[in-house]
């Protein structure tokens, strides 16, 4: 704990810290060293510091010294670098050499909605707010690097970690990630974009060797990372656990040196996932800059002083001393880590940050409000109509279970968490309505992760039949029934290091829902998950809400939408397949891979190629349960006929499409206008259509706004693997404008010339 606060003091005091650390080196000189002079250009400061460091000091800063920190250069007053999970909130501190909690009283946080919810907002402005708020919390906690955002593509609905990511479409993920990163780094905290790349399932994640063609790699799985680097300006990036071309992605020459650093010009630091480094020589040569977690039990496992036995520690020094490797790679790694430190910990201009502020809770609630998706609303069951003396029954374990604890490294110690039952009860009582509760089903009654304990006692000895009988009896006497179920963050559901076993809801929830439908037709199902789920009752339930893992303000956001204080405007960032075999990876038999004989390696071929998510459903004409981009509102919108500013463009031109959007209902609300491009005459096979632009527009009742969406050559291009370049072939294209991938209101043809 003392080390943490000493490190934080160094962060905030900048040059003063350097003077305290080494007064004989700095205070006695007439001028400050270049590296300590914040008025000097960054690269001058980095090179000056590097020139003053010994080989030993350079090695110290490129590997961990604790679970979440790497050593600085005390002699020069360069502070330690502190990292922390995760993408949804600042993880509580663990002990120096162990994974258990440090037991501090000042490391609670605001839990923000999971990134699936952020993606469902379809609003880069909200992503910016998310990053800024999270950055302020991390800055206050003395963290220089936040391990997020996660931007791996949603390839299979069984992936246990999908809830941490930004959906199935590379364009949507790119737009949201760029704003998140810019917001986070505007507060002096580095984004560590993860997991680069192809980390699209948790089962066999350490041993999966992905087999993929270059076109699919560049068109589907790399664009969000490229945008994070080139447009977001990410200061760090995390390698993935899995392999590509039989080479682990935390030291993969092609991915790190060839693509990331050479093609994209990344000047930040590549950080290993914890335990993702496996070989000293590969780590030296293949682009890894900063190694974490290789001895995951700290000093108690392996050799004494395990941190010095990391692959980039003493083994690296021995290779240098023997003359087997030069110091060129070491200088590059140290240079990148110094750049990272100077952009964050050594820049006091960002201030102190703030923790658990009401502004952050407001931001969390707003993100949740905007990301909740109304999937179905027959007969306008929602919003709940207030009636003095009205009765509401809430059913389901997820209405009371804390969701901020669990799920893996994104687990948090939230200062507070409003449950769905609490949020609904507060909103109902304010309207003169009463709320009753029935358990309905028993799922996972535990509530602990890495020493953070919810304190909830969810045990219940009743049988499933007894639980259903109670819920049905109460439902018959209610004006509204709200079932709150879905997944949780237990292993085998939405959780790191494991995948789901099926698309079905766990704990026989389908039986509960089927019984409630018969007891009361005013039923709304609120599904809490970061993944698509099967809904065999979909045509029977009049109202369905996709609510995600919403963090600290979960209950308030859910109540805001259910009672109509907020008009839902979220749109799905991934497709809900009608059944698992409709999902492309599973339809092609391309999950979870094939284990090699006499080897732990599992080869996983991405046989579906480009046809991920809606690209598969649209191209193969397979009707989904709910389409990508789908989301209803409590008002109605009408899109006029789209037009283009020209019908013929040259190779380097852009084209702008305009459509009028009118709110034809009685409530203010927001619609997301989506633009997809088709290239029907291309010489290579392309998906039926692909998202290339979108815009969320807010409208008062009766109001009309004109929405313009511009696309350029990049939106018309495919990746030519043989030529290793992006190609836009002259010919006819079609722009489709609508409100989801399966709800196109108008199309415009245009021609690309040379």
Work out the burial of residue 754: count CB atoms within 10 Å of its CB; fewer than 13 is exposed, 13-18 middle, 19 or more buried: exposed
Are 718 and 219 a contacting pair, CB within 8 Å? Answer: yes
| Residue keyed to tokens 């799922």 | 443
Instruction: Work out the angle at residue 276's Cα, subtended by the Cα atoms of residues 275 and 282, and round it to the nearest 5 degrees.
Output: 125
> pLDDT value at position 29?
45
Alpha-carbon span 335 to 628, nearest angstrom: 43
Residue 335 reports pLDDT greater than 60: yes
Q: Is the preceding omega at residue 622 within 30 degrees of 0, hence cis?
A: no
Mean pLDDT of 86-106: 90
Cα–Cα distance for residue pair 605/210, rounded to 1 Å = 6
Q: Which of 375, 389, 649, 415 has its CA nearest to residue 539?
A: 375
**158, two tokens:** 């069984």
**Which H, E and C letters describe 68-85, residue by residue?**
CEECCEHHHCECCEEEEC
Query: How confident is the model over 674-681, as a mean pLDDT?
Result: 96
Cis upstream peptide for 86 (omega within 30°) = yes
What confidence tier does 599 reach under pLDDT thresholds 50, 70, 90? Answer: very high
- pLDDT tops 50 at residue 18: no
Helix, strand or coil for residue 359?
helix
In this prediction, residues 648-663 reach a mean pLDDT of 95
- Indicate the burial class of 87 (C-beta count within 10 angstroms; 0-12, 13-18, 19 or more): buried
Report the candidate in 87, 113, 114, 116 with the shortest Cα–Cα distance to residue 573: 116
What domains can you pick out in the chain, each with its CATH number? 2-350 (3.20.20.300), 372-566 (3.40.50.1700), 635-752 (2.60.40.10)
Give the up-direction half-sphere exposure of residue 460: CA atoms within 13 A in the CB hemisphere.
Answer: 18
Average of per-residue pLDDT across 47-51: 98
Catalytic residue (choose from 80, 273, 289, 618): 273
- With cut-offs at 50, 70 and 90, classify the pLDDT of residue 704: very high
- Provide φ and ψ at 392, rounded to 5°: -120, 130
Res 382: pLDDT: 98
pLDDT at 411 (0 to 100): 95
Percent of the chain topping pLDDT 70: 95
Average pLDDT, the chain: 94
C-alpha radius of gyration, the chain, whole number:
26
Q: What is the pTM for the complete model shown?
A: 0.95
How would residue 331 be classed by pLDDT, with cut points 50, 70 and 90? very high
Rounded mean pLDDT, 154-167: 98
Per-residue confidence (pLDDT) for residue 99, from 0 to 100: 82
Instruction: Report the pLDDT value the prediction gives residue 201, as an integer from 0 to 100.
Output: 97
Q: Residue 97 has what pLDDT?
A: 82
Alpha carbon distances (Å) from 100 to 448, 564, 600? 12, 42, 30
Residue 637 has pLDDT above 60, yes or no: yes
Strand duo 480-486 + 434-438: pairing = unpaired
Q: Is 531 exposed, middle or buried (0-12, 13-18, 19+ CB in 10 A)?
A: buried
| pLDDT (0 to 100) of residue 296 | 56
So what's the pLDDT on residue 98?
A: 80
Peptide bond preceding 592 in cis form (omega within 30 of 0): yes
Query: Is pLDDT above 60 for 718?
Result: yes
Q: Is residue 395's pLDDT more than 50?
A: yes
Q: ω before 386 within 30° of 0 (cis)?
A: no
Please, what's the b/e burial string for 30-44 (b: 16 or more CB within 10 A of its CB; e: otherwise)? eebbbbbeeeeeeee
pLDDT digits (tens, 9 = 90+) for 267-316: 999 999 999 999 999 999 999 999 999 865 544 554 455 888 899 999 99
Chain centroid to CA 284: how far? 29
pLDDT at position 735 over 50: yes
- DSSP secondary structure code for residue 217 in this structure: I
Please state the φ and ψ torsions of residue 41, each to the nearest 5 degrees.
Answer: -60, 145
* DSSP-derived secondary structure letter, 304: S
Residues 378, 563 contacting (CB under 8 angstroms):
no
Lowest mean pLDDT among 183-197, 444-458, 512-526: 444-458
How far apart (Å, rounded) are the C-alpha atoms in residues 518 and 293? 53
494 is a catalytic site residue: no
Q: What does the pLDDT average to over 175-181?
A: 98
Indicate whether 738 pLDDT > 90: yes
């Amino acid at each position: 704990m003392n080390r943490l606060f000493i490190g934080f003091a160094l962060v905030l005091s900048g040059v003063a810290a350097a003077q305290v650390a080494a007064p004989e080196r700095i205070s006695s000189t007439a001028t400050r060293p270049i590296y300590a002079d914040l008025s000097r250009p960054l690269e001058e400061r980095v090179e000056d510091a590097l020139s003053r460091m010994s080989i030993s000091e350079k090695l110290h800063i490129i590997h961990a010294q604790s679970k979440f920190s790497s050593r600085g250069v005390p002699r020069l007053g360069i502070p330690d670098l502190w990292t922390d999970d995760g993408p949804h909130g600042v993880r509580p501190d663990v002990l120096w050499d162990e994974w258990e909690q440090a037991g501090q009283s000042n490391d609670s946080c605001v839990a923000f909605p999971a990134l699936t919810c952020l993606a469902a907002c379809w609003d880069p402005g909200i992503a910016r707010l998310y990053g800024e708020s999270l950055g302020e919390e991390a800055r206050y906690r003395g963290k220089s690097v936040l391990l997020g955002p996660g931007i791996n593509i949603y390839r299979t609905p069984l992936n246990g970690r999908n809830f941490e990511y930004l959906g199935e479409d590379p364009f949507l993920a790119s737009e949201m990630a760029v704003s998140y990163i810019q917001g986070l780094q505007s507060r002096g905290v580095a984004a560590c974009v993860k997991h680069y790349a192809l980390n699209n399932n948790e089962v066999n994640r350490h041993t999966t060797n992905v087999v993929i063609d270059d076109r699919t790699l560049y068109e589907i799985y790399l664009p969000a990372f490229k945008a994070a680097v080139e447009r977001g300006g990410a200061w760090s990036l995390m390698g993935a656990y899995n392999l590509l071309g039989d080479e682990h992605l935390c030291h993969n020459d092609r991915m790190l040196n060839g693509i990331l650093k050479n093609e994209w010009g990344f000047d930040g630091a590549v950080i290993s996932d914890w335990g993702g480094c496996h070989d000293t020589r590969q780590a030296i040569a293949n682009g890894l800059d900063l190694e974490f977690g290789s001895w995951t039990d700290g000093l108690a496992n392996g050799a004494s002083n395990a941190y010095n036995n990391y692959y980039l520690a003493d083994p690296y020094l021995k290779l240098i001393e023997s003359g087997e490797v030069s110091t060129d790679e070491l200088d590059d790694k140290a240079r990148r880590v110094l750049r990272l430190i100077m952009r964050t910990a050594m820049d006091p201009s960002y201030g102190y940050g703030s923790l658990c502020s009401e502004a952050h809770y407001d931001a969390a609630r707003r993100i949740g409000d905007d990301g909740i998706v109304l999937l179905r609303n027959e007969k306008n069951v929602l919003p709940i109509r207030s009636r003095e003396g009205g009765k509401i029954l809430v059913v389901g374990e997820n209405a009371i279970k804390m969701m901020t604890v669990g799920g893996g490294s994104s687990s948090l110690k939230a200062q507070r968490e409003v449950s769905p039952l609490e949020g609904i009860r507060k909103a109902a009582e304010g309207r003169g309505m009463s709320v009753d509760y029935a358990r309905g089903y028993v799922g996972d009654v535990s509530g602990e992760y890495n020493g953070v304990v919810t304190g909830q006692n969810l045990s219940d000895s009743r049988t499933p039949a007894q639980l259903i009988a109670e819920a049905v009896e109460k439902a018959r006497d209610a004006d509204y029934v709200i079932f709150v179920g879905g997944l949780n963050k237990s292993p085998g559901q939405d959780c790191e290091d494991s995948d789901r076993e099926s698309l079905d809801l766990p704990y026989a929830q389908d039986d509960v829902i089927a019984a409630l439908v018969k007891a009361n037709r005013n039923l709304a199902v609120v599904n809490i998950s970061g993944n698509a789920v099967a809904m065999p009752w979909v045509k029977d339930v009049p109202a369905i809400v996709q609510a995600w893992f919403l963090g600290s303000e979960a209950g308030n956001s859910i109540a805001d939408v259910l009672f109509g204080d907020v008009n839902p405007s979220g749109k799905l960032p991934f497709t809900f397949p009608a059944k698992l075999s409709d999902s492309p990876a599973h339809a092609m038999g391309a999950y979870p891979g094939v284990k090699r004989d006499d080897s732990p390696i599992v080869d996983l071929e991405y046989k579906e190629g480009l046809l991920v998510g809606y690209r598969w459903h649209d191209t193969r004409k397979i009707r989904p349960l709910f389409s990508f981009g789908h989301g209803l509102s409590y008002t109605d919108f009408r899109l006029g006929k789209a037009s283009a500013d020209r019908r013929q463009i040259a190779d380097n031109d852009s084209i702008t499409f305009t459509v009028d959007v009118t709110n034809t209902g009685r409530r203010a609300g927001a619609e997301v206008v989506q633009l997809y491009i088709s290239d029907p005459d291309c010489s290579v096979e392309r998906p039926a259509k692909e998202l290339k632009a979108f815009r969320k527009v807010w409208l008062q009742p009766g109001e009309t706004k004109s929405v313009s969406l511009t696309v350029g050559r990049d939106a018309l291009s495919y990746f030519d693997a043989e030529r290793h370049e992006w190609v836009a072939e002259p010919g006819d294209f079609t722009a489709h404008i609508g409100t989801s991938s399966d709800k196109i209101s108008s199309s415009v043809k245009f021609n690309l010339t040379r």
